[in-house]
Amino acid sequence: MSLEDLAAMDAEITSLRETITTAKATEKLLRANLASVNATMSTEELHASVTVLEREKKDILGRLGPLKTGNVKPVLPEEKIKVDKEFSRWEKIAGKRKKICLELWAMCTEQMEEGKTREELWEEWGLEGDE
């Protein structure tokens, strides 16, 4: 072989090594992309998710239909405020009644024998089934 042929072969070898290096870097990048794609939802899961979302959308639109037709009477802001105040009032009353009930129960069970259960106490008072 001549010196020129050897030089040409050396140049070709260097070129091929550079190509291999570039190909390996591309392969590494593509493998990383593939791993990230595989980590996300599969096509079947995406189809199932879309189906569920479409069903939910249909249900929501079905419930929204009567509201859009105008068959539902809108609530005035004043009426809403009034109802909220009334709800708040009754919520406070219920809280006070609960507190009274718990205090009364504590007083009733204060003198109860050690180890006696709630059910036994109710039976003793003849209140079984009245819970």
| Domain parsing of the chain, residue ranges | 75-131
Q: What confidence tens digit (pLDDT) does each residue in 10-29 have? A: 999 999 999 999 999 999 99
Distance CA 54, CA 41 (A): 18
**72: phi then psi, degrees, rounded to nearest 5:** -95, 130
Per-residue HEC secondary structure of 20-84 comes to HHHHHHHHHHHHHHHHHHHHCCCHHHHHHHHHHHHHHHHHHHHHHHHHHHCCCCCCCHHHHHHHH
Q: Name the band, by pLDDT with cuts 50, 70 and 90, for residue 74.
A: confident
Quick one: tokens of 44? 């079947």
Three-state secondary-structure class, residue 7: helix
The pLDDT assigned to 130 comes to 52
pLDDT per residue as tens digits for the range 83-118: 999 999 999 999 999 999 999 888 877 777 777 777
Model-level pTM? Answer: 0.38
Q: Which residues neighbour 57 within 8 Å (Cβ) at sequence distance 6 or greater?
A: none
Q: Is the separation of the CB atoms in 100 and 93 below 8 Å?
A: no
